[in-house]
Amino acid sequence: MVKIYSTPTCVYCKTLKGYLKKNGIDFEDIDISKDEKQLQKMIKDSGQMAVPVVDIDGEVIIGFDKQKIDALLKINKA
């Protein structure tokens, strides 16, 4: 399960979501600008207030760290 904590104005969030869609990865998009409870959960889990924060099966990644995301989701680029 992939969750992305994001905001509508975040350029990196949009880039990340586009990248996952392009690679056929389903994800839950959590808009923390509209959900205080999820914002608090994101801060608790990541220690960060910046977005995007990606949660891949409990593994938290801060920002659009393509290498980590590719490794966890087994996205191979030839």
Specify the CATH number of the domain 2-73: 3.40.30.10
Domain boundaries, the chain: 2-73
The pTM of this model reads 0.92
Helix residue ranges per DSSP H, 1-78: 11-22, 36-46, 66-73
Note the pLDDT tens digit of each residue in 10-44: 999 999 999 999 999 999 999 999 999 999 999 99
C-alpha 60/C-alpha 4 separation (Å) is 10
Q: Residue 77: pLDDT above 80?
A: no
Is there a contact between 58 and 3 (Cβ–Cβ < 8 Å)?
Answer: no
pLDDT confidence tier of residue 76, bands split at 50, 70 and 90: confident
Sign of the CA dihedral with 26 first, then 19, 44, and 57 last:
positive
pLDDT exceeds 70 at position 47: yes
pLDDT at 13: 97
